[in-house]
Amino acid sequence: MSDCIQIDGDSALKNIRIVLKAGLPLRETGFSRITSYPKHRCDIVAEGIVQERGQREYDYDNRKRHNSCLFQYTFSGEGRFQSLPGGKTTRLTPGMGFLVPFPSPTRYWLAPGTEWEFCYIIIAGDMAYDLVNLLVRMHGYLWELPATHLAIDLIKGLHRQVLAERIPDEFELAAQAHRFLMELFRAHRMPKPRVSPAVDRVLKLVERDYRDPGLSLEQISREAGYSRHHFSRMFRREVGISPHAHLQQFRLQRALNQITTTELPIKQIALESGYRDYAYFCKEFKRWTHKTPLTARRFGDLLNLSTIHTE
- The pLDDT tens digits for 2-27 are 444 444 333 333 344 456 788 888 89
What are 97-136's pLDDT values in tens digits?
999 999 999 999 999 999 999 999 999 999 999 999 999 9
SS3 content of the chain, % helix, strand, coil (to 5): 45, 20, 35
The pLDDT value recorded for residue 288 is 82
Model pTM score: 0.68
Burial of 239 (0-12, 13-18, 19+ CB in 10 A): middle
User: For all residues of the chain together, what is the average pLDDT?
Assistant: 85
Residues 233 and 225: their CA atoms lie apart, in Å, by 14
Q: Grade residue 300 by pLDDT with cuts at 50, 70 and 90.
A: low
CB 31 within 8 A of CB 2: yes
Helices and strands of the chain, counted as H and E runs: 10, 11
The pLDDT value recorded for residue 6 is 43
Which of 173-177, 241-245, 251-255 is modeled with the greatest confidence? 173-177
DSSP summary character for residue 81: E
| List of domains in the chain | 4-189 (2.60.120.280), 197-307 (1.10.10.60)
